[in-house]
Amino acid sequence: MFESETYEMKIITNTSYIKSVSIAIQLFTERVTQYIIIVVYVLMGNQLTGAIVYSVTQVITSLLISICISFPLALSAVAEAKTSIYRLEEFLLLDEKDEVPKGLGPIKADRGLVKLENVHASWITKSIAETLSDITFQLPPGSFCCIIGNVGAGKSSILHLLLRELPLTSGKLQAEGTIAYASQEPWIFSSNIRSNILFGQPFEKDKYYKVVRACALQRDFELFPYGDKTMVGEKGASLSGGQRARINLARAVYRDADIYLLDDPLSAVDPHVSKHLMEKCIKEYLKNKTRILVTHQTQFLDQADFVLVLNNGKVEKFSKSSEISPQEFELIRQTNVIETTASTSASQMFKSILSIKSFNSAIEEEDHADEGHETQELIEKGSIGFDVYKEYFRSGTNAVGLVFEIILIIIAQVFCNSCDLWVTFWTNNVDKLQNKALSAERTTEVYPYNATESASSTTFSDYFLNITENAETSHFSNYSNLMTEATGIVTETNFIDNILIYFDAEHLTQPMYIQVHSFFLFSAIVLSLLRTVLFFRICMKASRILHKTMFSNVLQSRMRFFDITPSGRILNRFSNDMGIIDESLPLSTFQSIQTFGIGCGILIMVYLKSIYMIIPSIIFGFIIKWLRGSFLKAAQNLKRLETTAKAPVFSYVAASLDGLPTIRSANAEHMVAKEFDIKQDEHTSAYYMFLFTYQAFSFYLDVTSSAFLAILVIQFLLNPHALSGDVGLVLSQSLIVVIMLQLLTRNIADVANYMISVERVLQYTKLDKEGPFQSLSAYKPPVSWPEAGRIGFKSLYLRYDPEEEPILRNLNLEIQPGEKIGIVGRTGAGKSTLISALFRLAFTDGTIEIDGIDIAKIGLTDLRTKISIIPQEPTLFSETLRYNLDPFGKYEDDILWQALEAVELKKVVDSLGMNVSEGGSNFSVGQRQLICLARAIVRNNKILVMDEATANVDPQTDALIQKSIRENFKNCTVLTVAHRINTIIDSNKVIVMDAGQMKEFAHPHELLQDPNGFFTKMVQETGIEDKLRSKAELHYRNMLKS
């Protein structure tokens, strides 16, 4: 992650430096061009005059705006648009899914018929190894078929083929009627439970209640605070695995379809619920429908009409269950022994359950009843505080660096203005010499009034009356030689004359003028480039530090944060907000500083000539400040609303991509697209309102500026004593000041709005973190810790929030080194919560010791790196296989290959460098689980935790995992949260959890001696009680002998 971020920041930094140089060049391009023209003109033997300089300057300014500013901006915009269009084009030209009607053709008498003849299919076009090959079977309407097979056999691929998700390469496929689909990995979107079940279908009360009861959800609704109106969070974060599976199943069952494709929905529920789903839902509620069930629970095979056995993508056996002899069924059961216990995470369940309601009040309320609501995103209010600016620049540099940059900005601006002043001084001296020579030749007939009084007697009104007659001799024409442009060139002032009187105009030569001008220009160029590059360097460092800090804090946040925060919100901070901080904020901030410097330079020089300009400038400044304040109040809140409204768009797109097969099977593409449009429109409306507010602000600025200039003109027209030269100077400089103030106000407003992104990022840098991650030297465990693997729980209480009731209560037990411990219990018992306590994922009271060391006193890094875990949902990264086995590169390839061989994956993978797709999608669920087991074998820790690791794998893979654990972890302490009791029946001891408390703890054989015990009742529900009792007794006797 940090490597990718470093590469991205390298590109952004280089781009920023290019932009910074471009901005600096814009500042002195006009001066360099002016300098070249002046030098060439003078070296050609001409005298430099104000008329020549300022005429050229005006032309250069016009060209500068068009060629050096507008044209590059247009090229940049076109380049960005071109890139975006190409990316959209590349996406839109991807191969589209074949629009094969999902059984929606003309109604036929055999709706529900499924027929495959010599079907070959592959996920990859022109692939040598086919996913499915030579598949042939037929299911009549209303039949029930069970599909079984080992890992990677092609069970889920058959369902995807019927959904037209898996491309058909050859053969004939026929599926008549509509299709409903329940995916293997439950797809739950962020809404309430009822919306997840209905999924766009109309609410039919009687039908809805029947489906809820058939899917065994009534008890869960009783426990939820808002019944079926309870918000489930992103991906069903507040639900247990069993609850997600049943809601996912209920969605498919609620749809009135002809064919139901059920991808292993029974694997995540306990035996009692599994039996209920089979009898009440699949067999009874869907009795007249065609049902295809992928399952590993072979005890239900004799209830099916047909049994399909797959092996390596081929049909190994297909026949009616009535044609399978009892001996064959027994053989299948012996090789595929299956039974389950509760498969839920109490920790997840208790996160959302806050109160208890009766089933009737939970689901029989009308739509206007109270509903749960998604946790709202924190939105700041009011103006951006000074602390936000302080934190931003402090991330980029220290106080000394910031002061140095400010000084550099001031000095660079001084040299820029010095260039303009020197040109003015140069032309004024030339004009003085020329005027002195002309005055000796002029006669009084040419000027009937005293020449010394002319400069003070011609009024602004006189000028307007005689401008056409005296265009060549009017003093306004003379003053026009001294007018300036936006870079701050001003006319001669008495104050400046006093300073520059030491430069004798009669003794200064043209080379001297050029040399001084060259010095000022060169200094301005160097300092401008230096200050610009340094400023962008500070901003880029601030961006890197903020991103690194935010990323680190998110990774170290408590699990509670991820349970209540949709991924779209997190992605919004890392994408949209960081994008603004990386690109837009530095540019606008520097433009504000540069505009402020130019404006100050102009004002200072104008005030030296026309002190009375201070008063109207102050009035104008107060008006601008009031407009800016009014604008920012609305604009900042709209900007916060806009950035917040973008997060649901990200979340919805991610959720929709995860559930594409379900969406397509339900023909819900238009509904999903419509919902996306709604969320996108909410964001767009907020964004457009922000733009409209900005445009209104710009309009009011233009009106105010125009009014200000109009008042100045009227004032001079009504003043008969106003000098035309003063009027020209004041109006021209006032126009420049007005433009600069408008630009400055807009840029400052942009900076304030962009600072909202900094504010939002800073929120994530202050998240409540776990920790400490590193152990204090006094409590640092030995490198070889833990050597034995002894675990002790003493008076342990666990909460996911300090203000909530404890989920685990008064847990006391001792696990001896090397023991194999099974953990079982009903829904909400606290099995996975016990594991959470061991990894310190929540708030605990009491003591947990490993080899005599209190884990609360050591760092989380030292603790978690010493415990291996194989979770129920295997996590693989979009990297190489080597990286997934050894993320830190500590082990040799031989060790990695040995681990793969231990889990029988050595022949499956091509090399350690093979790429793993996102989420491990190029491996089956079982293979992903085996890769996680191989990762644990590589690390070879003394403690291994298996959190329902075999919940979604077939019996062969389950047996392989158990065998590998016995061989590779025989001297390790192994804690297994049991999903199948046969996997823990030969454990040294079993922990039976119920309602957050440990009810029983002993060897399975000892627990089975109590006919009323919790464990005994669970074994009785498996359907293979005798076999389990015999296995437990055998293991117990062998243990006693040893």
Residue 145 binned pLDDT confidence (cut-offs 50, 70, 90) = very high
Residue 190 binned pLDDT confidence (cut-offs 50, 70, 90) = confident
Length reported for the chain? 1042
**Least-confidence region, from 297-306, 366-375, 618-627, 798-807:** 366-375
Asked whether 49 and 434 are in contact (CB, 8 A), the reply is: yes
Asked whether 166 and 157 are in contact (CB, 8 A), the reply is: yes
| CATH topology identical between 2-93+506-659+667-764 and 782-1041 | no
Number of H helices, E strands in the chain: 36, 19
Q: What is the pLDDT of residues 427-462, one digit of tens each?
A: 777 777 776 766 666 544 444 444 334 333 334 334
Q: What is the pLDDT of residues 760-779, one digit of tens each?
A: 899 998 888 887 888 888 88
Q: How far is CA 335 from the centre of its chain?
A: 46
**Residue of 348, 355, 345 whose CA lies nearest to 238:** 348
Residue 364 binned pLDDT confidence (cut-offs 50, 70, 90) = very low
**Residue of 632, 637, 588, 582 whose CA lies nearest to 761:** 582
Angle at 344 between CA 341 and CA 346, to 5 degrees: 125
Choice between 363 and 194, residue whose per-residue pLDDT is larger: 194
pLDDT for res 946: 86
What gap in Å lies between CA 226 and CA 153, rounded to an integer?
Answer: 42
Q: Torsion angle, CA of 485/489/491/495, rounded to 10 degrees?
A: 140
Cβ-Cβ contacts under 8 Å for 10 (sequence gap 6 or more): none
Domain range annotation of the chain:
2-93+506-659+667-764, 114-361, 782-1041
Across all residues in the chain, what is the average pLDDT?
Answer: 78
**Residue of 928, 823, 910 whose CA lies nearest to 873:** 928
Residue 180, beta-bridge partner list: 260
pLDDT for res 269: 78
Which of the given ranges, 521-535, 692-706, 942-956, has the highest pLDDT on average? 521-535
Domain 2-93+506-659+667-764 fold is ABC transporter transmembrane region fold (1.20.1560)
What gap in Å lies between CA 853 and CA 867, rounded to an integer?
Answer: 14
Whole-structure pTM over 0.75, yes or no?
no
Q: What is the pLDDT of residues 594-609, one digit of tens each?
A: 888 877 777 776 666 5
Q: Which two tokens stand for residue 598?
A: 């130019």
pLDDT for res 610: 61
pLDDT at 125 over 80: no
pLDDT at 791 over 80: yes
DSSP letter at 802 equals T
How confident is the model over 931-958, as a mean pLDDT?
Answer: 81
Cβ-Cβ contacts under 8 Å for 356 (sequence gap 6 or more): 222, 223
Which ranges constitute the DSSP H helices of 122-166? 155-162
pLDDT for res 447: 43
Does the domain made of 782-1041 have the CATH classification 3.30.379.10?
A: no
Which of the given ranges, 556-560, 737-741, 834-838, has the highest pLDDT on average? 834-838
Q: What is the pLDDT of residues 26-85, one digit of tens each?
A: 777 778 888 888 888 888 888 777 667 767 776 777 777 677 767 877 887 898 899 889
**Which is the CATH superfamily of the domain at 114-361?**
P-loop containing nucleotide triphosphate hydrolases (3.40.50.300)
What gap in Å lies between CA 549 and CA 2, rounded to an integer?
Answer: 11
Computed from CA positions of residues 196, 199, 204, 206, in that sequence, does the dihedral angle turn out positive or negative?
A: negative
Asked whether 342 and 829 are in contact (CB, 8 A), the reply is: yes
**Residue of 928, 808, 803 whose CA lies nearest to 870:** 928
Q: What is the pLDDT of residues 834-868, one digit of tens each?
A: 888 999 988 889 999 999 999 999 998 889 889 98
> Which three-class secondary structure string do you get for 265-277?
HHHHCCHHHHHHH
Half-sphere exposure (CA, 13 Å, Cβ side) for 404?
A: 9
pLDDT at 669 over 80: yes
